[in-house]
């Protein structure tokens, strides 16, 4: 692992990483988020007058993945070949799994993480009338593949 942060130049100034010399490879990433909410809020999801919160969150997450470079200042705009958001209903909330893929010179970890976070924020937005204490937790990278550093998988806890 490098002891130097890549988004700073020699003078310590913020800088976009030059990836022009890197090889184009297939890259994937999977990210996780969890929206913690009361069971009665979970049960009320199908009757939400704003529409199905999970389908709106799915679209929001996919759009967010596509716009990551517009949101995170030093991210490279990437030609995504896939962006997806899936949900797992649990007794205490909703698990979000977001995925992103590309064939490019840099990875898609930020696209997957952005998709998961924005999907979670969208669920909050669509359900906050029922409970303002909903929490967004556990946003993290699950896995990434491709590129010089190879595969990373988060250890299960």
CA-based nearest residue to 16, from 24, 25, 26, 7? 7
| Residue 125 is among the residues annotated as catalytic for this protein | yes
Other beta carbons less than 10 A from residue 71's beta carbon: 12
Collapsing DSSP to helix, strand or coil, 7 comes out as coil
Collapsing DSSP to helix, strand or coil, 108 comes out as coil
Looking at the DSSP bridge assignments, the partners of residue 89 are 94
**Selected catalytic residue, list 40, 91, 125, 131:** 125
Collapsing DSSP to helix, strand or coil, 71 comes out as helix
Q: Which two tokens mark 3?
A: 């002891």
Which residues carry out catalysis? 125
């Amino acid at each position: 692992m490098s002891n130097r942060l890549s988004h700073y130049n020699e003078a310590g100034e913020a800088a976009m990483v030059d990836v022009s010399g890197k090889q184009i490879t297939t890259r994937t990433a999977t990210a996780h988020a969890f929206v913690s909410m009361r069971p009665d809020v979970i049960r009320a999801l199908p009757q939400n007058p704003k529409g199905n919160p999970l389908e709106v969150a799915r679209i929001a997450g996919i759009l967010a993945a596509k716009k990551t470079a517009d949101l995170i200042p030093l991210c490279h705009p990437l030609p995504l070949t896939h962006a997806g958001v899936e949900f797992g209903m649990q007794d205490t909330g909703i698990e979000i799994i977001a995925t992103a893929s590309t064939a490019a010179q840099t990875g898609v970890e930020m696209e997957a993480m952005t998709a998961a976070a924005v999907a979670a924020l969208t669920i909050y937005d669509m359900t906050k009338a029922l409970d303002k204490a909903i929490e967004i937790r556990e946003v993290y990278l699950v896995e990434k593949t491709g590129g010089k550093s190879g595969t990373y998988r988060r250890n299960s806890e």
